[in-house]
Amino acid sequence: MPAKAICSKKYINPYTDFGFKKLFGEEGSKDLLIDFLNQLLPPKHQIEYVTFKNTEHLAETNVERKAFFDIYCESTTGENFIVEMQKAKAEFFRDRAIFYASFPIRDLAKKGDWNFELLPVYFIAILDFEYDKEFRTQKFMRDIYLKDQDAEVFYDKLSFKFLQMPLFNKQEDELKTHFDKWMYFLKNLENFEHIPAILNETIFNKGFEIARIAKFNPEQSEQYQKSLLQYLEVKNVTDTAFQEGKLEGKLEGKIEAARILKAEQVSIDLIIKTTGLTKQEIEIL
């Protein structure tokens, strides 16, 4: 399928790697990221400025896995934020979230005389799939802290916030909060033909302007088309694999999915994130 034939939309798909970074991961769009994060943070941790950090987190030894964050940033008061856009179902997703959160925690360790006091770490995942079907009730947003047997918070400096976008179904006339508007913006951005009246605010107007495909230069347009094609391929392969039960812990299913993704020239890093296989296992396929 020719890359330029797959997109006839006015605005980018924010679930693509390119689209997500364009909206939230560039210097010129920091105000969008800050406004979005502040909808998810408690009043005591509202932020005014963030600094982007290296999104490829190197392991300390050769046997450790690297961590590849979509967005890794730090506020002026020291809070660390990992923001992930997860496009497709992946085995051990929650395990990976814990693993990723361990890197900024280790970064906070101070050399020399240190009393072990840590600053807050937030892991925020925007999911283009439902991960909690085994729970008694499904929730669009799960806000997770470490709690004891009586549900009292034991430690509030490590927080996981999972947003399951398929479960957000509010329509324009149902939007009550600024957070609702953000979710509506992200959920429907690719399909908007014009800016809805309820999103006619400065912050969203800037988001629409950044997301407007027509203003991309040829290089950006090509990068987006490749990212969109990759998103569609990964989504199709993984959705099909899960429906057929291939990725329910069966190694042969993961290998087959990896073969297909590799044949479609999907990046090794994305195949690792999607299937849970190691780089070595994928390279020998």
141 vs 93 pLDDT, higher one = 141
* pLDDT score of 229: 82
Query: Burial of 123 by CB count in 10 Å (0-12 exposed, 13-18 middle, 19+ buried)?
Result: buried
Q: What is the mean pLDDT of residues 50-59?
A: 74
Q: What is the pLDDT of residue 35?
A: 96
Name which residue leads in pLDDT, 134 or 250: 134
Q: Is the pLDDT of residue 266 over 80?
A: no
b/e per residue 76-91 (b: at least 16 CB within 10 A): eeebbbbbbbbbbbbb
Tokens at 277, concatenated: 């296989």
Q: Which helix (H) or strand (E) holds 153?
A: strand 153-164
- pLDDT score recorded for residue 124: 93
Confidence of residue 54 (pLDDT cuts 50, 70, 90): confident
Taking only Cα atoms into account, the Rg of the chain, rounded to an integer number of angstroms, comes to: 19
b/e sequence 221-248, b meaning 16+ C-beta within 10 Å: bebbbbbbbbbbbbbebbeebbeeebbe
> What is the spatial distance between Cα 214 and Cα 218, in angstroms, rounded to a whole number?
10
Q: Which CA distances in Å does 180 have to 40, 137, 186?
A: 11, 21, 10
Residue 96 is predicted with a pLDDT of: 83
DSSP secondary structure, 221-252, as one string:
HHHHHHHHHHHHHHHHHHHHHHHTTTTSS-HH
Query: CA angle, 75 as apex, 69 and 76 as ends, to 5°?
Result: 150
pLDDT for res 240 = 61
Give pLDDT, residue 220: 93
What per-residue confidence (pLDDT) applies to 100?
87
Alpha carbon distance 228, 20 (integer Å): 11
Which carries the bigger pLDDT value, residue 203 or residue 94?
203
Helix (H) / strand (E) element for 127: namely strand 121-127
HEC profile for 155-213?
Answer: EEEEEEEEEEHHHCCCCHHHCCCHHHHHHHHHHHHHHCCCCCHHHCCHHHHHHHHHHEH
Give the model confidence (pLDDT) of 65-82 as tens digits.
Answer: 455 668 888 888 888 888
φ/ψ bin of 279: left (φ > 0), alpha (ψ from -120 to 50), beta (otherwise):
alpha
Residues of the chain with pLDDT > 70: what percent?
83
Side-chain-side CA neighbours of residue 212 (13 Å): 12
pLDDT exceeding 90 applies to what percent of the chain?
Answer: 42
The residue among 135, 172, 194, 171 whose CA lies nearest residue 9 is 194
DSSP 61-73: STTSPPEE-SEEE
Answer yes or no: is pLDDT of 88 > 70.
no
The pLDDT value recorded for residue 129 is 83
**Given a cut of 50, is residue 212 above it in pLDDT?**
yes
- Average pLDDT (238-247) is 56
pLDDT in the model for residue 60: 53
